[in-house]
Amino acid sequence: MSPERLSRRRFLGGLAAGSGLLLAVPLLNACGGGATAPTAAPTASGQAAAPTAAPTGTAGGSPTAAPTATAATVTPVATGRPTGQTVKLTNVENDSRPLDNKAYENVYKAFREKHPNIEIEFQILPWEQAEAKERTMAEAGTLPDMGRANFAASLVKLDAMVPLDDLATSDYLARYPKSWIDDLYFEGPDKQRHLYAVAWFAGDKAILINKTFFDEAGLTRPASWTTDEFVEAAKKLTIPNKRWGVTIDAAGIGDPWQNFWLCVRAFGGGFVKGRASDSKSPEPVTINSPEFIKGATWWRDLYKNGYAVPSAPTDTYKERDANFMSGKAAMMWQGPWSLIDQRETLKKQGWELAALPLPKGPAGNPQSSGLAGLAGIFSTARKRGVVQEAWQWVSFLCSDEGQKIYSGTNGMLPASQALWKDPQFANDPIYSGYLEGFQNGDRDYPIWAVGVQSVFDQKGVPMMQGLLLNQLTPEQMAQQLQDEVIRFLENNGIKVPRG
């Protein structure tokens, strides 16, 4: 070997030494516990509406119950910081409709008048990827400081959220319907239930209709209707190859499953025997039932008989909304997420928007969760020592004042019962179906079946597609889905008794 050449052994030795040095740098940095800097907030890009129903399937309270709480007050909390020192926070949101962005702007403007020392950058993680991304960020410790907390169930398991028990007063929580409050609590790393979220907007489901098409077809708008009457209306509203009675979304997360599940529940199907909200400990799962099969069959037959837009198997909520807004379909299941926007868009085309209650099946017209928009504080704020400041924002957003500004801008329903009597909501007929629906609300699944929404989204929705495409019968779907749910729960350490 020539003494002038670097040998392979010496090179590899040098490489190892260099790698060790480079590895030491991030390790030392991690030990130092550097604060996570707020990330720049990309501006909203006006993405299509996202389903915003809470995955926890909470029970709705009575919209007519007199509010029992006085206006919530947020206790100013000493931060130990020098007065006037600016604190920068990041807030995450999953929806990005233009009116939602405007609503945030208006709330932030009002917030800054009260808290000029707190600056907030707003991030948007689109709904479809939000849960996966937030889980990944939680593992990496790079979550924002606070924001939309609809995935609290999985984030709490990763110890990625801050309990709010010492921050939210009982008066603050009493503004919500009693049955919702339980759903703001999750089991933390210490196996105890803590308050991890508060709510700023509500919503369940109604049938949005193109009233102009209804009038043209000679249909009257009923105060309530049955599943058979719904099918008749869909049939009359269908003009082959031009317009369909209803648009169904059978792809994506959130809305597709929730809308399907409403049909199943209308026929008496359910996760357990009885109300899911009342089930507090593991009991036999009853997904595989004759009632489920009837509900699934009814839903499938809308498509099979040609009353639903043919692209349903791969339509997400975006395509569903587009089908409705473009006049391709006359009806759709929808929450009160962008009613103002939808009403204006239809009006520009000479059409009128209206909302009808869900059709009643043999088991009535059970509603989904009334509890929709949850906000919470992530562990990043704890690491950075800005929990108090984050709470200032979260509590303001979810206060009556914040909700009034937010919902007043984008037309969503506020979560505070007192605000349901506001003329904007109480006097507008389009909200009546939603407000009445809160009375029939129930969780989609019991509180002990933590994370099972992911099974519905990842396994249940493809089965819905199989149902539409005749590759799966309702009986097969009922059995397979129940098996998947039980397997998931048992893999997560939840022993499910057999019925």
Chain residues that interact with other proteins, rule: CB under 8 A: 2-6, 11, 14-15, 18-19, 22-23, 131-132, 135-136, 139, 154, 157-159, 241, 250-252, 309-316, 319, 328, 450-451, 454-455, 457-459, 462-463, 465-466, 468-469, 471-472, 488, 491-493
**CB nearer to other proteins: pick between 69 and 469:** 469
Tell me the closest approach of the beta carbon of residue 179 to other proteins, in angstroms.
25
DSSP state of 456: I
**CB nearer to other proteins: pick between 264 and 489:** 489
d(CA 212, CA 111): 41
3 state DSSP class of 63 = coil
**Amino acid identity, residue 115?**
H
Tell me the closest approach of the beta carbon of residue 406 to other proteins, in angstroms.
29
d(CA 143, CA 483): 34
**CB nearer to other proteins: pick between 60 and 252:** 252
**CB nearer to other proteins: pick between 69 and 132:** 132
**CB nearer to other proteins: pick between 117 and 345:** 345
d(CA 68, CA 177): 9
**CB nearer to other proteins: pick between 51 and 252:** 252
Tell me the closest approach of the beta carbon of residue 459 to other proteins, in angstroms.
8
Nearest of 241, 242, 389, 260 to residue 313 by alpha carbon? 260
Backbone angles phi, psi at 232, to 5 degrees: -60, -45
d(CA 221, CA 493): 48
In the numeric block, the tokens 């984050």 are attached to 390
Nearest of 341, 354, 345 to residue 411 by alpha carbon? 341
Q: Are 377 and 155 in contact (CB under 8 A)?
A: no
Tell me the closest approach of the beta carbon of residue 221 to other proteins, in angstroms.
27
**CB nearer to other proteins: pick between 139 and 165:** 139
**CB nearer to other proteins: pick between 268 and 306:** 306
Tell me the closest approach of the beta carbon of residue 197 to other proteins, in angstroms.
18
SS3 content of the chain, % helix, strand, coil (to 5): 45, 15, 40
d(CA 70, CA 212): 43
Torsion of CA 252, 256, 257, 262, to 10 degrees: 170
End-to-end CA distance of the chain: 78
d(CA 147, CA 123): 9
**Amino acid identity, residue 26?**
P
**CB nearer to other proteins: pick between 337 and 488:** 488
d(CA 308, CA 317): 14
Tell me the closest approach of the beta carbon of residue 450 to other proteins, in angstroms.
7
In the numeric block, the tokens 């409403």 are attached to 262
Q: Are 370 and 180 in contact (CB under 8 A)?
A: yes
Q: Are 370 and 60 in contact (CB under 8 A)?
A: yes
Tell me the closest approach of the beta carbon of residue 3 to other proteins, in angstroms.
8
Tell me the closest approach of the beta carbon of residue 151 to other proteins, in angstroms.
11
3 state DSSP class of 226 = strand
Please list, in sequence order, all residues whose beta carbon lies within 8 angstroms of the beta carbon of residue 432, skipping any fewer than 6 positions away: 355
Tell me the closest approach of the beta carbon of residue 137 to other proteins, in angstroms.
12
**CB nearer to other proteins: pick between 148 and 157:** 157
Q: In 244-353, where does DSSP find H-type helix?
A: 255-266, 290-304, 317-325, 339-348
Note the Cα 194 to chain centre separation in Å: 20
d(CA 377, CA 120): 13
Tell me the closest approach of the beta carbon of residue 466 to other proteins, in angstroms.
4
Tell me the closest approach of the beta carbon of residue 407 to other proteins, in angstroms.
31
**CB nearer to other proteins: pick between 315 and 389:** 315
**CB nearer to other proteins: pick between 10 and 112:** 10
Tell me the closest approach of the beta carbon of residue 313 to other proteins, in angstroms.
4
